[in-house]
Amino acid sequence: MSQQEIYKTAGFGQPVPRGIRPGIVVVDFTYGFTDTIYPTAADMKAEIAATRRLTDLARAKDILVVYTTIAYHRGEVTMLPWLRKATGMAALIEGSRLVEIDAATGIQPGDPVITKKGASAFHGTPLAALLTGAGVDTLVVAGATTSGCVRATVVDAVQSGFNVLVPADCCADRARAPHEANLYDMHQKYADVTDADDIERWLVSL
């Protein structure tokens, strides 16, 4: 039995229903992840450009666009277990350039920015309340990294009651293997993994 058949037999990989009130969450396209002068970063120009197509269109259609960043107070750095495992993340200090949203994303002054301390954009943040208050029923998740904060956000989005779509060409990672493996797993269990063209056509149709 092939891998695809195993998952299908187990009941995974079913299509996600799409509602009529989408929202977009752009995860951690901050300079600490996008500007390769920093060791925590990778080249994400293509993924940022693909994401910007969707966010520019979303604003024109009055669709909520939310950005996230990871930022730590210096006093937190030595106490958080995640930073003992992922020590490079300790450089993401409040007020530094590393935690600013990359201007290439096209972020606008009216776009909410969620500051988080962990991988998921939902954990310990008001994101779920913000999306619910805006009436969002289907969440598009883009950003970085695919295997880390994007995946964690997708899992928590489903557990928070949202249908989730992930445009693969709007997600970036430091290495190809974890990127592809996590896209596959998300598509089987938590979201529809698609592309920016598909999401764009859907947004235009609404």
Q: From residue 153, how far is each of 65, 79, 109 by CA, in Å?
A: 15, 23, 23
Cα 177 to chain centroid distance, Å, stands at: 18
CB 65 within 8 A of CB 58: yes
First and final C-alpha spacing in the chain? 40
Q: Please, what is the average pLDDT of the chain?
A: 96
Helix, strand and coil in the chain, % to nearest 5: 45, 20, 35
Instruction: Indicate whether 13 pLDDT > 80.
Output: no
What stretches of the chain show up as alpha helix (H) in DSSP?
A: 3-9, 31-34, 45-60, 81-85, 127-133, 151-159, 176-189, 196-205
Q: Please list, in sequence order, all residues whose beta carbon lies within 8 angstroms of the beta carbon of residue 56, skipping any fewer than 6 positions away.
A: 106
Q: pLDDT tens for residues 118-170?
A: 999 999 999 999 999 999 999 999 999 999 999 999 999 999 999 999 999 99
Instruction: Indicate whether 182 pLDDT > 90.
Output: yes
Please tell me whether the peptide bond between 146 and the residue prior to it is cis, using omega within 30 degrees of 0: no
In CATH terms, the fold of domain 20-205 is Rossmann fold (3.40.50)
CB 44 within 8 A of CB 34: yes
Set 149, 152, 170, 183: catalytic member:
149
pLDDT on residue 12: 79
CB 85 within 8 A of CB 32: no
What tokens appear for 25 in the block? 């969450």
d(CA 101, CA 143): 11
170 is an active site residue = no
Is beta strand 64-70 parallel, antiparallel or unpaired with respect to 192-194? unpaired
Domain positions in the chain: 20-205
d(CA 139, CA 157): 8
Helix, strand or coil, per DSSP, at residue 37 = coil
More confidently predicted of 5 and 34: 34
| Residue 172 β-bridge partners | 144
pTM, two decimals, is 0.95
* Residue that has been written with the tokens 């995946």 in this structure: 151
Q: Would you place residue 205 in the very low, low, confident or very high pLDDT band (cuts 50, 70, 90)?
A: very high
The DSSP letter of residue 61 is T
d(CA 171, CA 168): 5
pLDDT on residue 43: 97
